[in-house]
């Protein structure tokens, strides 16, 4: 509208109209600049400047509306478009100031500080707790492994000690058994050496090991000696009987 006004004839009324247009444009431009400054900084002084400028804009826009009859056809069309845009714009600054004045005006930063940061701290706490729990589990596993190892070593030494004791006991029993049998065999041999051949029939059960084989051989030997002695005794008895017959015959003769 200002550009069109510059092409029209200059009159006192049109000069005043041009000043009104300049004030409307200036207050709108400066008002928008203060809105941007407030949105960037949040400083209340920019909001206060906007309020002063917009109050002036309202007055000068009313003056422009009152002088609408001075506008030509093309300016009237532009004014109608400006009026519609201004009507849509009027409630926006108050909403922008209201939203920028809240704590969550910058939703990303607000959520970062009010939601993400606490959640992050909570996650750090959870991870720290998990780490401590894992360390404790590792320590418990190490203790259990060490305890199991010590128990295994103790069980091995215990089993070894028991095995040694059992081996000693069986060895002693074997030695005692062998000594007993050797003593019995020695006693039997001594009786044979003394001429007692009668106990061979009551010698008992003979084992199949080396000592048993020795006992069996001794008994076989004794039985053969007894058989030979029996044959000798029988021959002696026959000889004595024949001698008596010879003596009787001799006496008879």
Three-class SS of the chain: CHHHHCCCCCCHHHHHHHHHHHHHHHHHHHHHHHHHHHHHHCCHHHHHHHHHHHHHHHHHHHHHHHCHHHCCHHHHHHHHHHHHHHHHHCHHHHHHHHHHHCCCCCHHHHHHHHHHHHHHHHHHHHHHHHHHHHHHHHHHHHHHHHHHHHHHHHHHHHHHHHHHHHHHHHHHHHHHHHHHHHHHHHHHHHHHHCCCCCHHHHCCCCCCCHHHHHHHHHHHHHHHHHHHHHHHHHHHHHHHHHHHHHHHHHHHC
Rounded CA separation 236/191 (Å): 25
What is residue 82's predicted lDDT score, i.e. its pLDDT? 92
Phi/psi for 187 (5° steps) reads -65, -40
Rounded CA separation 17/213 (Å): 151
- pLDDT above 60 for 200: no
What is residue 128's predicted lDDT score, i.e. its pLDDT? 85
Q: Is the pLDDT higher at 192 or at 233?
A: 233
Mean pLDDT over 15-22 rounds to 92
In percent, the amount of the chain with pLDDT more than 70 equals: 86
Mean pLDDT over 157-173 rounds to 89
- pLDDT above 60 for 199: no
- pLDDT above 90 for 36: yes
- Mean pLDDT, the chain, integer: 83
Rounded CA separation 43/52 (Å): 15
Give the pLDDT confidence of 101-145 residue by residue, as tens digits.
887 766 655 566 566 667 767 777 888 888 888 888 888 888 888
Q: Looking at the whole model, is its pTM more than 0.85?
A: no
Q: How many CB atoms lie within 10 A of CB 222?
A: 19
């Amino acid at each position: 509208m200002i550009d069109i006004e510059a092409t029209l004839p200059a009159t006192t009324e049109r000069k005043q109209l041009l000043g009104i247009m300049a004030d409307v444009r200036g207050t709108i431009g400066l008002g928008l600049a203060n809105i941007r400054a407030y949105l960037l900084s949040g400083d209340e002084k920019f909001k206060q400047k906007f309020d002063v400028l917009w109050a002036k804009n309202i007055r000068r826009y009313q003056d422009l509306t009152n002088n609408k009859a001075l506008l030509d056809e093309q300016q009237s069309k532009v004014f109608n478009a400006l009026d519609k845009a201004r009507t849509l714009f009027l409630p926006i600054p108050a909403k922008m100031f209201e939203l920028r004045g809240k704590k969550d005006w910058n939703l990303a930063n607000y959520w970062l500080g009010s939601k993400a940061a606490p959640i992050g701290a909570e996650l750090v706490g959870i991870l720290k707790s998990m780490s401590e729990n894992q360390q404790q589990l590792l320590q418990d596993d190490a203790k259990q492994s060490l305890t199991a190892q010590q128990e295994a070593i103790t069980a091995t030494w215990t089993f070894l000690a028991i095995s040694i004791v059992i081996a000693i006991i069986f060895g002693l029993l074997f030695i005692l058994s062998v000594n007993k049998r050797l003593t019995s065999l020695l006693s039997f041999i001594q009786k044979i050496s003394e001429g007692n051949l009668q106990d061979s029939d009551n010698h008992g059960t003979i084992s199949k090991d080396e000592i048993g084989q020795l006992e069996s051989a001794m008994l076989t030997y004794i039985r053969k000696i007894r058989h030979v002695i029996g044959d000798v005794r029988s021959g002696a008895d026959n000889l004595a009987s024949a001698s008596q017959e010879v003596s009787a015959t001799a006496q008879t003769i």
